[in-house]
Structure 1
Amino acid sequence: MAYFRIVTIAILAIVPLINSEIYVEEKFENANWEEKWIYSKHPGKEFGKFVLTAGTFYNDAEADKGIQTSQDARFYAVSKKFKGFSNEGKPLVLQFSVKHEQNIDCGGGYVKVFDCSLDQTDMHGESPYEIMFGPDICGPGTKKVHVIFSYKGKNHLINKDIRCKDDVYTHFYTLIVKPDNTYEVLIDNEKIESGNLEDDWDFLPPKKIKDPSAKKPEDWDDKATIPDPDDKKPEDWDKPEHIPDPDATKPEDWDDEMDGEWEPPMVDNPEYKGEWQPKQLDNPNYKGTWEHPEIDNPDYVSDDKIYLRKEICVLGFDLWQVKSGTIFDNVLITDDIELASKTAAEVKNTQAGEKKMKEAQDEAQRKKDEEEAKKSSDKEEDDDEEEEDKDEPRPDSEQSEHDEL
């Protein structure tokens, strides 16, 4: 019996591993990565090229290699096709890393997933997609994480504002969509947003609407206070807001014929009390704010499969960048949440290595700048001394010889 229990436990431990799927795992480890990816040739767009690199600062020169945007002010459009799948009845995890090494000022850092109908050679900004996910930065006002789903042919943006990272180091972005219509967004393996798909997107009409047949009764009094009918305006209330300055005098050089009739400047009247308003009393007929009654929306139909993507077949980078230098890496599409978490957990080591190398580079550059500044300053001093020497008068003996000549 004990043997049976041990075998059963072992089998149960293995089952999740057997059932889990990895649909895409791309770490850009080989120089021939372009053989598996297709560049778009959509007309009318000036596309930039991706290059394989770990960047100028990194933790591991080989493991940190990814594809980097290499040309400023370009569109970028490259995609990879894989065996199509549906996420029906299981989680969908979309994860990748982004490193805005160039300290990006305006540009996208997101990915899109498509169904199998996409013409990869014609992929562009209007190509229909299933999901768009990832950071987007443009100036100080736009620093957000896009989470956009296609639903019944229309793209729906999340109703929440999710802020992205805007520094120069590697960050992992993870989207988890579950078959119970819930979702999670993680950055660097930390959950920053979650909720229900129906609540946080406008996929469906509202469950309740205002009753079109209901109207506020004509005798409904929603004024909390009313003017006191017995309150009267004091007889001495009305005073002008501005009066001639009593201390002003006509200048001695004022010429009425030339300058016109002199008038003193106007100043604020200290006795001015403003527009008179009667005192307010509690309204005895006040009924409160009228609330429009609601009814069930006849157009609302629940959908327990909002999460469902019937076919996912292509992953693409389709974006614009003003200043190039972003590195994309560690692309993962799976139904294994634990695997994604384990992969993203490595970001701490990556960031630590990047920061260490960058700080060393910055320090070396600082010293170099100081040395160059000192050399430049020394040269200026030498040049000034040479000019002073030229301007100094010659000794009397030299001057005399010159005079004799």
Structure 2
Amino acid sequence: MRSVCLLAVVALVSAEVYFKEEFNDNTWEQRWVQSNHKDDFGAFKLSAGKYFDVESRDQGIQTSQDAKFYSRAAKFDKTFSNKGKSVVIQYTVKHEQGIDCGGGYVKVMRSDADLVGFHGETPYNIMFGPDICGPTRRVHVILSYKGKNHLIKKEITCKSDELTHLYTLILNSDNTYEVQIDGESAQTGSLEEDWDLLPAKKIKDPDAKKPEDWDEREYVDDAEDSKPEDWDKPEHIPDPDAKQPEDWDDEMDGEWEPPMIDNPEYKGEWKPKQIKNPEYKGKWIHPEIDNPEYTPDDELYLYEDFGAIGFDLWQVKSGTIFDNIIVTDSLEEAQAHAAETFDKLKVAEKEKKEAADEAARKLAEEEAKKKEAEKPEETEEAEEDEDKEHDEL
């Protein structure tokens, strides 16, 4: 037990925190550079939102203008490479406005990224976080590899309520990853399988062709089956029970014809019976060969230079709050940070929102009852006014 505890302590001591931002006061503006790529970027403001526990601890930066792009970024205290170790990117997002369309992700970049000119085309290493627009509600994990950006192939559904949620990406040196939401695993896998970073290992043999006599029909018509002689009956026939109306005039109404009805003897289109095809060989499968363009890469996870992080977003309805950002090489360090920030906020926030929702529900009920109670009085007053107008007339 002592050995386990000692190892845990050593792991925490050796952990590196490359970036941490809690937006505890107004000094955040000195660290986060406002891009000048456009002259009408939306403004972030410091806010803890409507529901919080300790305001200074729970406040973050909030988008404050509708239908705007936002672009702000900060340099790391320490530039690093994740060679031979994990990297953990973690932060909280709160869509307090009930977002309908907008991003909530971060971009983690190289140390030489141009933050003054930061915009949508600025190169990045990793883009991670929730994105919501209409029915689309997913967590983006986009990895840059050899100059191209690759979106994860798996669907990861993000949270879309009005509470704070914790998003964590763990990128491991064995080319595996994990995405956590609120500390719970939302997706895991390997970088090679879940992204199209490398060409396929196998490809269809370009020289292979399906033989001309290859029969893929499992069933065929029975050549010995023949259509019965009495099969072909019309689908509709004149109604034998119909009679010409007594007042029918051929000169005025034309020649009378009985109405048509469904033929009870109609059997539909005849088709021969199906039998097993004696020549059936199964579905032809195109043979595969090793892809000559495929080369394994044990360092898909590797980025030689991490040094900046930024928000590059579009939001139709503003109000999202970002907070508690940490970039580290230790999941334990990230979890400890969450315990001191997110875990304390989420309990108080949920309780206060539920209390506010209940109070709003009761108020709405009281107002509805009040309106209902006022209806008879309004009717009586209206009737009295009508009687008075009638007397005057």
| TM-score normalised by L of structure 2 | 0.89
Which residue is equivalent to 2:263?
A: 269
Measured in 1, the distance between the counterparts of 2:100 and 2:296 equals 42
Quote the offset at 1:288 in angstroms: 1.8
Say if 1:14 and 1:386 are closer, same or farther in 2 by CA, change over 3 A.
closer
**What SS does the aligned partner of 1:62 have?**
helix
Partner residue in 1 for 2:310:
316
Q: How does 1:138-287 map to 2 (within 5 A)?
A: 138-140=133-135, 142-247=136-241, 263-287=257-281
1:179-215 CA distance string (max 9 Å, x none): 1100000001111110110000001111111111111
1:35 to 30, 38, 42: 30
Q: Which amino acid aligns with 2:210?
A: K
Q: Which residue does the alignment assign to 2:50? A: 56
Q: After superposition, give the CA deviation of every residue in 1:25-67 in whole Å (9 maximum; x if it has no partner).
A: 1011012211111122223x74211111110112332221111
* Shift in CA distance, 24/233, structure 1 to aligned 2, threshold 3 Å: same
Give a deviation string over 1:43-92, Cα, whole Å, max 9, x none: 3x742111111101123322211111111111111111123221111101
Bigger drift between 81-90 and 190-199 goes to 81-90
Aligned 8 A contact 1:59 1:354 in 2: yes
C-alpha contact (below 8 Å) 1:183/1:196 kept by paired residues? yes
1:355 pairs with one of 340, 345, 350: 350
Q: 1:36 to 1:348 in 2, by over 3 A?
A: closer
In terms of mean alpha carbon deviation, does 51-60 or 20-29 score higher? Answer: 51-60
* 1:241 to partner: Cα distance: 3.0
Aligned partner of 2:358: which letter?
E
Q: What secondary structure does 1:366 align onto?
A: helix
Which stretch shifts more, 344-353 or 197-206?
344-353
The answer (yes or no) to whether the contact 2:12–2:333 under 8 Å persists in 1 is: no
Q: Between the two proteins, what is the percent identity of the paired residues? A: 60
Gapped runs of 5+ residues in structure 1? 1-5
Distance 1:228 1:328, change over 3 A: same
Instruction: Establish whether residue 301 from structure 1 lines up as the match of residue 295 from structure 2.
Output: yes
Query: Relative to structure 2, which stretch is displaced further, 60-69 or 184-193?
Result: 60-69
| 8 Å contact from structure 2 (residues 96, 163) kept in 1 | yes
**Structure 2 unpaired stretches of 5+:** none
Asked if the contact 2:25–2:56 (Cα under 8 Å) also holds between the matched residues in 1, the reply is: no
1:91-130 equivalences under 5 Å are 91-130=86-125
1:70 aligns with 2:64: yes
Counterpart secondary structure, 1:342: helix
Structure 1 residues 283 and 375: CA distance shift in structure 2, 3 A: closer
Q: Give the Cα separation in 1 of the matches to 2:246 and 2:151.
A: 73
State which of 4, 14, 17 in structure 1 corresponds to 2:12: 17
TM-score, normalised on structure 1?
0.87
- 8 A Cα contact 1:188 1:344, kept in partner: no
Letter paired with 2:114 = D
Q: SS at 1:120's partner residue?
A: coil
Distance in 2 separating the partners of 1:58 and 1:95: 20
Amino acid aligned to 1:326: T
CA contact (8 A) 2:324 2:342 kept: no
State whether structure 2 residue 367 is matched by structure 1 residue 337.
no
Gap change, CA 1:329 and 1:248, over 3 Å in 2: farther
Aligned residues: 388
Q: Deviations over 1:305-349 (max 9, x none)?
A: 110112122111111111111111110100011111233346444
Q: 1:275 to 1:372 in 2, by over 3 A?
A: closer
